[in-house]
Chains A and B, each alone.
Chain A
Amino acid sequence: MAPVVPVASVTTKVAQASKQRSRIAYLLLIPGLGWLAIFFVIPLVTLFMTSLQAESASKPGTYVPGIQFSNYTDALAEYWPQFVRSFVYAGLATAFALVIAYPLAYFIAFKAGNWRSLMLVLVVAPAFASFLLRTYAWKTILADDGPVTSGLNALHLLPDGRILNTGIAVVAGLTYNFLPFMVLPLYASLDKIDYRLIEAGNDLYGSPQQVFRKVTWPLSMPGVVAGTLLTFIPAAGDFINAELLGSTKDKMIGNVIQTNFIEFRDYPTASALSFALMAVILVMVLSYIRRSGTEDLV
């Protein structure tokens, strides 16, 4: 006769075991997530509160808690050109980076063979050399008497006759700096494509352009979405490229936030701009992800 196992006790045992396992999970999660909660989430709340502070009547230059929404309208009224410029520059840099990165990612994923991991290392390697120094090096490369500028001038391609200290240099710098963030996600999603699908497209007499448009490109969409986000977001908040490569007419919102926070110590204005930047980017990211349907980015 088979032993009768009371069902209830088995299920409670299973429930207990899984409860214990999830307790271990929480123990593993709490330190790291706690750190993020205290030093990422709470600061955003503080930033928002600071953005609503009002200047103290008794002590000018210091700020007291308040609910002064006019900080936002005042800041945006004064700095909307830099705000818009940030998104235009970041958008242009993202578009250029996509065009430049795609062939490289495609080559690494499908044609590189044994060279694949070496090439991936080479894509990441520039990050080991200082960001600031690499940006500064573009000052030498794009110098007014340098080969790049004189070459383009000989072709009459430069409206101002120079690259350095113009918006072109800032966009070029942004494109360069964030290019690896475009290449890696593109590579990751191209690498996941079953190459037989592309071969099938060729076998069915699709022209190379058709195969790319109807097979490769749609299948690489998750990489395109992730890559454009990873390029656009840091580019929109950057102030290094505009400071080192641009003129005072090419300043981005990052420069404004930086000077207001650190030099002018106008904390409410700087916080309002920073929070507004965060909000705009968040809305863009969420709608972009929803439209292209890539939920799991982590």
Chain B
Amino acid sequence: MRWIRQHLIGAIAIVVLLYLFLPIAVVIAFSFNNPESKFNLSWNEFSLDAWTQICGVPGVCSAFVTSVEIGLISTLFATILGTMIAFALVRYRFKGRSSTNLLIFMPMATPEIVMGSSLLALFLNLSFPLGPVTVMIAHIMFIISFVVVAVKARLQGMDPRLEEAARDLYASPSATFRYVTFPLVLPGILGAALLGFSLSFDDFIISFFNAGTLVTFPIYIWGAAQRGIPPQVNALASLVFIAALVIVLSAQFVAWRKRKSLSVR
């Protein structure tokens, strides 16, 4: 009885993690399905067709590439803009700090449908043509806040004595930044960029409102959901999932190795 009580919370934690991964297991498993009907919803028989002919369904791969391109460009811009804001917030005193914080917090506290529809209202009133540009404008807008939060956390967690040491050793402000500050913040910036890319790549609601006739990967899935999602979509999504997991886990592993070698010395 005591044993159960002591391990109960661990057991619950594992069950919750399994619950988080259950749908992903289904997504991956059904990439190996040879669906009976158009709808890839119940298991029929094992097949590798979706993986060997991953672009075999018209439009899947071009939608995928579109999402990658939009994700990369949006992430690049949002990471630069957000990192600059994070530096200003942590390193400088200026008037208007609380309104700056509010402006950064608001997009995270606003439902996507409100941001998507309000941007569409703006573009419609300006008769601005919808397409990749409007989607990227929207993505940069909603990613900035997440970048600010991630980079700010990294900057705040940095030991200020490292920069003081550089200054004491007569490093100019720009040299201090280049050789000390920036390398220390870089993991935070890269983490923020990965987060930003995954938010952009997977965004549906805001993109759907502002895409016009452009088809991103999530928009393709939405359309396909009505007439049956081909297993190729599952295969591509599984690829993305595994790639992202490998990147994050190897970053964790590198950090863990570094910690270990430091503690040995």
Q: Which residues of A contact B (CB under 8 A)?
A: 18, 21-22, 24-26, 28-29, 31-33, 35-37, 39-44, 46-47, 49-50, 100-101, 103-104, 106-108, 111, 117-119, 121-141, 143, 176, 179-180, 229-230, 233-234, 236-240, 244, 254, 257-258, 261-262, 267, 270-271, 274-275, 277-278, 281-282, 285, 296-298
Contact = CB atoms under 8 A, between A and B. Distances in A.
Contacts of B171: none
Name B's interface SS: helix
B26 interface: yes
Contact of A129 (B9, B120, B240): B240
Interface in B187-236: 198, 202, 204-205, 208-209, 217-218, 221-222, 225, 229, 233-234
Contacts, number: 261
A270 B138 CA distance: 19
A279 B104 CA distance: 18
Interface stretch (B54-62, B111-119, B162-170): B111-119
Contacts of A126: 20-21, 23-24
Interface residues on B, range: 35 or more
Interface in B70-110: 81-82, 84-85, 87-88, 91-95, 100-101, 103-110
12 contacts: A22-B94, A25-B88, A31-B84, A46-B125, A100-B16, A128-B245, A129-B241, A134-B23, A137-B30, A261-B120, A275-B114, A296-B101
A77 B111 CA distance: 22
A50 B88 CA distance: 35
B237 interface: yes
Contact of A21 (B92, B111, B140, B240): B92
B9 A240 contact: no
B94 A237 contact: no
A126 B27 CA distance: 11
A132 B222 contact: yes
Contacts of B238: 129
A133 B252 contact: no
A274 B125 CA distance: 16
Contacts of B229: 133, 136
Interface string B224-265: 010001000110011011001100110010011000000000
B183 interface: no
B184 interface: no
A18 B103 contact: no
Contact of B92 (A25, A117, A258): A25
A118 B23 CA distance: 20
Contacts of A143: 41-42
A289 B16 CA distance: 28
A101 B16 contact: yes
A267 B124 contact: yes
B10 interface: yes
Contact of A261 (B117, B122, B198, B233): B117
A104 B13 contact: yes
A176 B23 contact: yes
Given A107-B12, A234-B112, A237-B112, A44 B81 contact: no
